[in-house]
Structure 1
Amino acid sequence: MVSDIDKYIDLHTHSTASDGSMSPGELVRHAAKCGLHAVAITDHDTVEGVDEAADEGRKLGIEVIAGVEISANYKPEMHILGYFFNGAHDNIKPALSRLRENRDVRNPKIIKRLNELGFNISLEEVEAEVMGSVVGRPHIAKAMLKKGYVKSIEEAFDKYLSTGRPAYFKKDKLTPEEGIKEILRAGGIPVVAHPIYLYHTWSELDKLFGNLVKSGLKGIEAYYVDNSADDTGNLLRLAIKHGLLVTGGSDFHGSFKNGIEIGVGRGNLKIEYVLLEKLKKAANV
C-alpha cells in the first residue's frame, strides 16, 4: 500500500471541455499513466467534462476531483479555482451558463475583427475545433493555425488575441468577490489560481488576500508551474498569515501548452496528496 507521503496529485488541468487537447477521459488515463493518485479537472467556466473524467477515474482507481476555473474581472483578469465534492459541482452550472453566454457574445466580435484584418475565418470553422461546450479564444487561435495564418497558438495570441492586440475584446466577467460567492453558494472551495500572474508586489498580494478572505476565499495556488522557489515560499507564508489552504497544479493543457506535463509541470512540481486531504477536510468530506 502506498503511503500518503508517496502519493502525488495535480489540482489544475484542462480538457477538451474548455481549451485542453485531451478529452476528460484521456486526461485521466494520462494522469494514471504518469503515476498520479488524484487529478482535478478545472476547465474554464464549465464542469461539463467532470462526469466523464470521474467515470474513467473509477475504472482506473485514480481519484478525480470536480473543479472549475472561473474568469473574474480584475486588472484585467483573475482566475478563481473552485473544488467540489460529492456531486456539488452540479450546483455551479447555472452561474457558469451565464459566463458562457458572455463568451458567445464576444466570439462573433473577434471573428468580425479578424475578417477586417484580412483573415478568412468563420464562426462555423471555429466551432468545428471545439469538442466541449466552451468556445473561446484558444479555439479561434487553433482555426487560425489550421488555415496557416499563424505558426502557433502562442503567435495567434501574441499578435492578435491577447489584451491590447487588434482582435481583443473584453469579456463581461464576475468580480473576484462574486466568483468566490458563486463557488461557496454551490458548496465548493474557492482558491485564487496562479497568484503570480496578478503581477502584484508581495505587500499588494498580502492586502488582496486579506480583502478576499472577507468575501470567503479559502485558498491560494502556492505551487504552480511558473513559480520560482522564492515565489512559492512567499505564497506559503501569505497562506499561513491569512489562514488559507494551499493547492498546486501544472495548468496542464496537453499539446496546447508544450513543455508542461501533468503533475510535474516542467519538472519543477511535486504536489503531495496531503494538500488534497486538507481540501477535503475543509469541505467536510
Structure 2
Amino acid sequence: MSFDLHTHSTVSDGTESPAHVVSEAARAGLAGLALTDHDSTAGWDEARAAAESHGLRFIPGSEITSKSQGTSVHMLSYLHDPKDVGMVELNATARGGRVERAKRICERLAEDFPITWDSVLEHVGEDATIGRPHLADALVAVGAVPDRGTAFHRYLHKGSKYYVGQDSPHPVEVISTVRAAGGVPVIAHAMAATRGGTLSMTELEELVEAGMCGVEVHHRDNTAEGRQLLLDLAARHDLIVTGSSDYHGLSGKPNRLGENCTDRQQLQRILELGTGARAYNGTR
C-alpha cells in the first residue's frame, strides 16, 4: 500500500486541479496521497472529496519555504490546523512575498521578452499561490521557450540575471509554528544539490532539535549519497522517513505520481502525531 506525500495542484504551481491530482493518483494505483500546495490549504476540501469518491486516503498538507543562511529550505507540513493563527499569518506573509518577488522577476524579464504582469496572471488560478512556474508559463505562451523546464534552465534559475530571491523565515520558526498548530514538519528534498545549496549535517541536527519530525528521503532530486546521509540521520533520531514524487501535473514537471512512495508504517506515525486537522485525520 503506497502513499505519495508531496503533490501540487493549481492552488499553487501545479497544472491540475486538486480533484484531478487525486484522480491521477487513483489511476496510478496509489492507496493515498498528500496535497502539499505552497503556502495554502485552499485545495484540501476538494481533494478530500475526490479521495473519498476514489476510496483513497487523503492527508492534508502544505509546503512552506524557509531560508537558513541563504540556503532555501522547503518544509512539508502535514495535518496542521488550517485556522491556526500562526499558520495563517505564516502563509499570508509567504504569499505576499511571492507576489512581490514574481513582480520583480517579471519586470526584469519584460526588458527582453514580450510579457507583462497581466500576462503572467493569466496562468495563475483563482486564489492560487503564485510562483516562478507561472512566469515560466508566460514565457512559453509568447514562444520564448517550449516548456517550463526550459524556462527554468535558461532564465529562472538561481544565478540568472532575471532571478530575484525571496525573503523567508528561518526553518526553526517554521517548525515551531507547524508544531504549535498540531502539524508534522518533514523537510523536503534536503539533499537536492541540483536545486542549489543544501544544509550541513550540523544544521539538520539543529532542525531535529527544534522539533522536525521527519525527512523526505526518497525524492528524485536527492543524490544517492544524500539519501544515505538522511537515512543515517533518521536512524540516529528515530525520524519519520518519507518518499514522494513532488508531482506538479503531467504538463508541469517530469515527476510522476508514485515514482517514490511512503509506506503505511511511516504514514501511520504521521497520522498519530498530527493533531491539528482532526476533521481530515480519518479520511480514507
Question: What is the TM-score normalised by the length of structure 1?
Answer: 0.88
Residue matched to 2:265: 274
Q: Which residue of 2 aligns with 1:136?
A: 131
Match of 1:219 among 192, 214, 223: 214
Q: Cα distance, 1:186 vs. partner?
A: 1.6
- Closer, same or farther in 2 for the Cα pair 1:229/1:273, shift >3 Å? farther
Counterpart of 2:169 (choices 171, 174, 183) is 174
Q: Secondary structure at the match of 2:76?
A: strand
Write out per-residue CA displacement over residues 160-185 of structure 1, whole angstroms, 9 at most, x where no aligned residue: 22211111111111111111112112
One-letter code of the match for 1:206?
M
- Determine which structure has greater relative contact order: mean sequence separation of CA pairs < 8 Å that are 6+ residues apart, divided by chain length: 2
Letter of the 2:32 counterpart? A
Q: 1:186 aligns with which of 181, 188, 199?
A: 181
> Who is 2:42 aligned against?
48
Change (3 A) 1:90 1:65: farther
Alignment of 1:85-124 (within 5 A): 88-91=81-84, 92-116=87-111, 118-124=112-118
The one-character-per-residue Cα deviations of 1:138-157 (angstroms, maximum 9, x if unpaired) are: 00110110110112212222
1:90 CA drift (Å): 3.2
Check conservation: 1:8, 1:37, Cα contact below 8 A: yes
Aligned to 1:243: 238
The letter for the 2-side match of 1:280 is L
Larger displacement relative to structure 2 (228-237 or 58-67): 228-237
TM-score (norm 2): 0.88
The SS at the match of 2:62 is strand
Whether the aligned pair in 1 keeps the contact of 2:12 and 2:130 (CA below 8 Å) is yes
User: Distance in 1 between the 2:32 and 2:204 partners?
Assistant: 27
Q: Which amino acid aligns with 2:67?
A: N
* Cα distance, 1:180–1:64 mapped onto 2, change above 3 Å: same
Residues 117-138 of structure 1 show CA distances to partners (whole Å, capped at 9, x for unaligned) of x211111111111125211110
SS of the residue corresponding to residue 60 of structure 2 reads strand
Per the TM alignment, residue 242 of structure 1 is displaced from its structure 2 partner at its CA by 2.1
Aligned pair 1:64/2:58, yes or no? yes
Aligned-residue sequence identity (percent) comes to: 35
Q: Structure 1: 5+ residue runs without aligned partners? A: 1-6
SS in 2 for 1:277: helix
Which residue type is aligned with residue 209 of structure 1?
L
RMSD after superposition:
2.0
